[in-house]
Structure 1
């Protein structure tokens, strides 16, 4: 049994599928997907279809919400939020479904995104999209922070973590920084796996533009260069 995590796919369906082929998932493995499946990239629907297929195939895939899923749901609830979503790549999501209105997206997909939890925790790990507001006695009480927070490492509460490692995305960082963080998890128990896949391969020289997966069981990283084009 292995524990994997992937974050911030952002509509990069071909890249996502290629990365999954590297992992060789089995029914005993657990795959945590940390949100931002949609927006910016060209095939958000394809990403969601692949996630649904993995679940239908009996694989243990645990899906969390990201801020982009929340922006879409906010736009669905109130058209006043549409502009903010479109600025952040929502138009590309509508294009992938072949529709012009968010409420025209098929119900199966809307239900999938509505049911997403903001975090998941086990004895060894905490999985979350953006991070945690560790100034609170209960960091899980701040759902907005779990979707949106940045620059929170300075508030890391090791006593509250009790030996657990936080795995998150949301803030793109170069491959080299993620690789270094993996080597130092025993002393700094936080791992950001967002490599800015949607940037595209034009940013490869700067260390960005791949989709990242981590095998936490064996502490191994996998990178798949963007196959879908940059945003």
Structure 2
């Protein structure tokens, strides 16, 4: 059984489905999705529908919460984060994919899914998290849920004693695919890999969706499909 991780799909469902075909995803695999299924790309609803379909067909998926799921939930629940802010951060495309005007009009099955997403998953020697881990002396990194969704530039503070023989796999910070490849060559020493290849961004070096096969130590990159261009 392969362990595979993908992060930051951002409404790019055609690219997501193509990447699953490229890696020959099967029911014998475990797929970890590290959050940010929504916003910016045109097909947020369709990404969630693909996840639901795969689960219903018996594929093994475990899904994490990302900061964009959190922003939708804030806008839904009045967490001091208003609708206009949500829309400015790509939420307009999410609502358009559902053909609704406000988060509360998204069908309940989708909202229930988002509300129940965990902040991190540990499986064998791997810790999966959306953004990263916050290390403060005397505290458990798993206690800092907000940081798991939002933190950047954190790996320099990685507590190797706490980590032990484990590895951290995350996304959140868009990174050129060449940089991801370079860092992955040193994965055994660094103990951390960021797999957000900036699928939704139309900038040189970005515009890919990345999958990492942790069992065989292989990276895959799928260029963003034109049907997933941000609207």
Give the TM-score normalised by the residue count of structure 1.
0.95
The yes-or-no answer on 1:31 pairing with 2:31 is: yes
Q: 2:48 & 2:93 partners in 1: Cα distance?
A: 14
1:187 and 2:189 correspond: yes
Counterpart position of 2:161: 159
Which of residues 213, 216, 230 in structure 2 aligns to 1:215? 213
Q: Is the 8 A contact 1:71 1:81 kept in 2?
A: no
Task: Specify the alignment match of 2:56 in structure 1.
Answer: 56
C-alpha separation between the residues in 2 aligned to 1:146 and 1:84? 21
Contact 2:175–2:198 at 8 Å: present in 1 too? yes
CA distance in 2, matches of 1:65, 1:122: 16
Work out whether residues 175 and 207 of structure 1, in 8 Å CA contact, stay in contact via their aligned partners in 2.
yes
Indicate if the aligned counterparts of 2:42 and 2:230 stay in contact, CA closer than 8 A. Answer: no
C-alpha distance in 1 between matches for 2:71 and 2:37 = 12
Pairwise CA RMSD: 1.1
Q: Flag as ranges the 4+ runs of structure 1 deviating above 2 A.
A: none
Secondary structure in structure 2 of the residue aligned to 1:40? coil
* Residue segments in structure 1 that go unaligned for 5+ positions in a row: none
Alignment partner, residue 99 of structure 1 = 100
CA positional deviation for 1:80 = 5.0
How far did 1:230 drift? 3.6
Number of equivalenced pairs: 227
Per the normalisation by structure 2, the TM-score is 0.95
Name the CA distance, whole Å, in 1 between partners of 2:112 and 2:156. Answer: 36
CA contact (8 A) 2:40 2:93 kept: yes
1:17 counterpart residue number: 17
